[in-house]
Amino acid sequence: MILLTELHYHPPAALFAELLRADGILLEAHEHYRKQTFRNRCLIRTAQGVQPLTVPVIDGNRAEKVSASAIEIDYRQNWIHRHWRTLQTAYGNSPYFEYYADYLHDIYVRKPALLFDLNLQFLRLLLRCFRLTLPLHLTDEYLPDYSAQPSLKNFGLPSAQLLIADRRDWLTPKTNTKAVEPDSPAAPPVVRPYPQVFGPGFEPGLSVLDLLFSQGPAAGAYLQ
């Protein structure tokens, strides 16, 4: 199964539960940018509760449509310092923050010009953290419907593994617009409760960083 998805900024752990079952990743590179999505934000848990971290972008509020792969990051705002300090405050005492911190920080300080490139670098890092060696490709054009299953010969996989699972806009900070049934293949996979830095109780829907900082190499065991 090939997972078709947009690129997220530190995506929810549920995406990685789906990736554990995938044979490859197809990233949507030709969509129009959409505001108020996980494309430029993630959710973390702090002492004050769940908090969004948002990457400011240029042209994201323009009326005309802008390609998601062309959206530029707004470095006129000191958002890197703010995000990094928030991550340090929220997770500095977690078991594995220091283990992964340098790898994440190295990507931040490179300051990629495009949001797409920033998210892609973080995704490649997270795949390594989960020891996932999946073939990864970008779409050649935007197709609203993949039921016709375009050619995916470049994946080098048997035809039985080339079924496309369209998960675009499947995970959003707001209510899921696709309204899938709980037992359907498109329903978000379950992330088993794990010890979080701030409690009480378990908060679902957080960035995969929350799981990774808490469980490190054992994080995959919590993705069902």
In tens, the pLDDT along 61-102 reads 665 688 999 999 999 999 999 999 999 999 999 999 999 999
* Helix, strand, coil share of the chain (percent; to 5): 35, 15, 50
pLDDT score of 179: 42
**E strand residue ranges, the chain:** 2-5, 24-27, 41-46, 49-54, 57-58, 72-73, 136-138, 164-166
Residue 160 Cα distances to 1, 135, 157, 186, angstroms: 8, 15, 8, 19
Element (H, E) at 215: helix 208-215
Q: Is 3 left (phi over 0), alpha (psi -120 to 50) or beta?
A: beta
In this prediction, residue 220 has a pLDDT band, given cuts at 50, 70 and 90, of very high
pTM above 0.95, yes or no: no
Strand pairing report for 2-5 and 24-27: parallel
Q: Which residue has the higher pLDDT, 171 or 155?
A: 171
Query: Rounded to an integer, what distance in angstroms lies between the CA atom of residue 11 and that of residue 119?
Result: 9
CA dihedral over 154, 155, 156, 160, signed as positive or negative: negative
**Residue 1 has which token pair?**
């199964």
Query: Rounded to an integer, what distance in angstroms lies between the CA atom of residue 122 and that of residue 138?
Result: 16
* 4-59: pLDDT as tens digits: 999 999 999 999 999 999 999 999 999 999 989 999 999 999 999 999 999 999 97
Strand pairing report for 24-27 and 136-138: parallel
**Residue 30 has which token pair?**
């030709």
Give the per-residue SS3 of 83-130: HHHHHHHHHCCCCCHHHHHHHHHHHHHHCCCEHHHHHHHHHHHHHHHC
Cβ–Cβ < 8 Å for 9, 39: yes
**Residue 62 has which token pair?**
């323009």
DSSP state of 155: G
pLDDT exceeds cutoff 60 at 182: no
pLDDT exceeds cutoff 60 at 184: no
Percent of the chain with pLDDT over 90: 74
